[in-house]
Structures are given as C-alpha cells and as structure tokens.
Amino acid sequence: MEEYSGVWVFIEVDEEKNIEGVSLELLGAGRALADKLNVPLAGVLLGDNIRGLANQVIYSGADTVYVVDHPVLNLYRTEAFMKAVILLAEKYKPEIFLYGATPNGKDLASAIATDLSTGLTADTTMLDIDLEKRLLEASRPAFGGNIMATILCKKHRPQMATVRPKVMKALQPDDSRLGKIIEEELELREEDMRTKVLEIVKDVTKKANLADAHVIVAGGKGLGDQQGFQLIHELAETIGASVGGTRDVIEAGWLPHELQIGQTGETVTPKIYFAIGISGAIQHVVGMKNSEIIIAINKNPEAAIFDVATYGIVGDAHEIVPKLIQQFKGISKGDLSYV
C-alpha cells in the first residue's frame, strides 16, 4: 500500500468544454487533504481537445494534471472513460481519488472501484484525514436521515469517494501557480464502443431554476397536506422565488421529483432560503445549509432547522405565512427592492 501516494481529482468537463463547478470545488478540498498528507494534488482531465483546460486545473490548486486527449472521449461514456482512468490509476497509483457526485462522476467511480477492487464512499459531504493512519475520513448522511457516518477504506487503495456538488469550496484561481502536465496515449476505437450519445438536451425548466435561484421558498411535511402546501407557492409567487421541498414532500407527491432539496435531491445555495414546516433532518440540511440567509418557520421550538437558521420564527406556518405574504405585498417597491 505504501507505493500509493497523492490525491487525485477527476475533472469533469461539460459538452461545451467547461470544467464543472464541482471539480473546481474538489480541487479546493483535495488541496487541503494533499497539504495535510504532504503529497501532491493531481487532476485527471479526459476529453477530446481539452488539453487547453489543463492550466485552469493547475490555477485551481493542482500540482499535476494527467491528460488523455482522444476523439472517442468527446462525450462521457463509462466504457471509454473507465479505460483511460484505469490506465492512469494503475500506472501512477494515487492513495485518494475524488469524483463529483454527479451522474457521470458516480457512474465512473462505481466502475473504477469495481475494477480496482477498492472502496468507494457515495455522496460525501465532509472530508478529512486521519494523519496517524493516513486514512481518508469520508463522511455522509446515513439512513436517509439524521445522522452522519464516517466511512473508511483501511486496506485498499486508492481510497475513493464521490462528493456532493456545492458543499466544498473552490480556491480563488491563481494564474501564477505552476504545475506539471503529463499527457498519456491510449488506444481507443469508436467501433469498440457499445454506447453512443446521440443528442444532448438542455433543460430550461424548474430544476435548473432551483440550482440558480436567488430566493427559494421550501416546504416540508409540517404544511400538513397538499392544500396546505399551496401557501409555499403563494409566498414564492409574491416575492418572485423558486419553490422546493423536502424528501417527504416529494414522496407524498406534493411536488415533482426535480424540486427535491437535500442529499438525494438538489443542493442549493440561494441568497435567501425559507424553510417552512421543515424539521431539519440532516439529509435535507446538507442540501441547503450553505444558503446565505436561512429563515425557519416551524411550530416546534426544538426543531433542528433552527440550529442552521439565521432567523427563526416559532409558530404555525398556516398563521405566519399568510401574514408574511401580506407584509411583503404591502411593502412599496422602493423599500424592498434589492437591486
């Protein structure tokens, strides 16, 4: 195991050849882990005609960038990407390997972990190092709920984890940073591929809005029923906010799947987040706790949501929210125009 050294980050690139935000965040988190272990941080950059992005990976924290540039790697496909990553991992032997918990990152990491017979922790929200044992401590909400579990991979390398987007912090890019770019050749043939991406369709509906929203009004089971949940829609409409909900709300069918906020839904970081009738289970909180201002309205004064709230109102949503709507409506535009 001693031959394994260094922290790696898989750099995900979208079809317009932009590096995904989560990969930059992971370079930030990976930098801290690598410094703690006193080893280099590397990015793994795969694609077609993506060499030019290698410097950006270095500016964002990496010491080394491993590049495989090949036409077959143009759009993500498990079989092609897997071959390239396995080639690199077997040759250079990292001790830690992080991926964004995106559809592609999770898919790729699962295939790699199987191939390398190593451990993989899913949807991590906290990363640390046990320096004495040189172990990665990858923590995540467990049991769909209220508790965190730290997962360790003691006897296999690399130690791998997928990490939720928008949880870690990217570094300020520094274009004076220097690093090594190592390009590897790999023989890949299109005719060996068993999948083809025929088309990419960008969604311009609610889900995209939720991730970019400045203000979100989110509701939980505390609203009582679907009719009670109408208050959430009304408040959102009054202040021009997007609507979201907890896992319970989505499972009850009050909102469509794409509006779920939390561990298994979207992670959001709006300027203002209203959490109404939401108890504050960890699996929800990890998806919204980085919002700038969190306003909690809940009738249970002990509710965990108050722990993460900037402002808390203890009271029945059915009484408070209509008053809130009235107040917002009554305010002249000049008084509350945040432009």
Partner 1 sequence: MHIVVCVKQVPDTKIIKINPKTNTLDRRSAPAILNPFDAHAVQEAVKIKKRIGGTVSVLSMGPPQAVAIIKNSIEIGADRGYLISDRAFAGADTLATSYALSKALEKIQEEMPIDMVICGKHAIDGDTGQVGPGIARRLDIPPVTNVIEVTEVNHKEKKVLIKRKQINGYEVIEAQLPCLLTVEKEVNEIEYAPMPNMIKAARYEPTVWSVNDLNDVDKAQLGLKGSPTVVGKMFTPPKPEGGKRLEGTSDEQVRELVTLLAEKKNLFNFDVNNS
Binding string to partner 1 for residues 303 to 332, with x set by CB under 8 A, is what?
---xxxxxxxxxx---xx--xx--xxx-x-
Give the C-alpha distances (Å, rounded to integers) separating 249 from 164, 277, 285: 22, 11, 15
From the list 168, 83, 153, the residue with the least C-alpha distance to 118 is 153
User: b/e for 178-187, b at 16 or more Cβ within 10 A?
Assistant: ebebeeeebe
Instruction: Report the residue from 90, 183, 192, 251 that binds partner 1 according to the rule CB under 8 A.
Output: 251
User: Least Å distance between CB 179 and partner 1?
Assistant: 27
Binding of partner 1 by 1 (CB under 8 A): no
**What element of type H or E holds 64?**
strand 64-69
Binding of partner 1 by 48 (CB under 8 A): no
Binding string to partner 1 for residues 271 to 300, with x set by CB under 8 A, is what?
xx---------x------x--xxxx-----
Give the binding range for partner 1 (CB under 8 A) out of 59-67, 169-177, 184-192, 204-212.
204-212
Site for partner 1 in 124-143 (CB under 8 A): 126, 137, 142-143
Binding string to partner 1 for residues 89 to 118, with x set by CB under 8 A, is what?
-------------xxx-xx-xxx-xxx-xx
Site for partner 1 in 54-73 (CB under 8 A): none
Binding of partner 1 by 335 (CB under 8 A): yes
From CA 230, how far away is CA 58, in angstroms rounded?
Answer: 48
From CA 264, how far away is CA 82, in angstroms rounded?
Answer: 25
User: Least Å distance between CB 135 and partner 1?
Assistant: 8
User: Least Å distance between CB 91 and partner 1?
Assistant: 20
What token pair was written down for 52?
């030019």
- Inter-axis angle of helices 78-92 and 103-116, to 10 degrees? 50
Binding of partner 1 by 17 (CB under 8 A): no
Binding of partner 1 by 170 (CB under 8 A): no
Beta-strand pair 126-130/135-142: antiparallel
Which lies closer to partner 1 via its Cβ, residue 131 or residue 331? 331
User: Least Å distance between CB 265 and partner 1?
Assistant: 11
From CA 165, how far away is CA 149, in angstroms rounded?
Answer: 19
Residue 113 phi/psi, 5° resolution? -60, -40
From the list 330, 235, 241, the residue with the least C-alpha distance to 276 is 235
What token pair was written down for 167?
């949880």
Q: Are 163 and 29 in contact (CB under 8 A)?
A: yes
Binding of partner 1 by 123 (CB under 8 A): yes
Which lies closer to partner 1 via its Cβ, residue 174 or residue 307? 307
Which lies closer to partner 1 via its Cβ, residue 56 or residue 159? 159
User: Least Å distance between CB 254 and partner 1?
Assistant: 14
Instruction: Report the residue from 150, 170, 184, 206 that binds partner 1 according to the rule CB under 8 A.
Output: 150
Give the binding range for partner 1 (CB under 8 A) out of 30-38, 41-49, 183-191, 234-242.
234-242
Residue 280 annotated as part of some ligand binding site: yes
From the list 284, 257, 258, the residue with the least C-alpha distance to 273 is 284
**What element of type H or E holds 11?**
strand 7-11
Which lies closer to partner 1 via its Cβ, residue 183 or residue 307? 307
From CA 255, how far away is CA 231, in angstroms rounded?
Answer: 13
Q: What contacts 28, CB < 8 A, 6 or more positions away?
A: 60, 61, 168, 169, 170, 171
User: Least Å distance between CB 249 and partner 1?
Assistant: 11
Binding of partner 1 by 192 (CB under 8 A): no
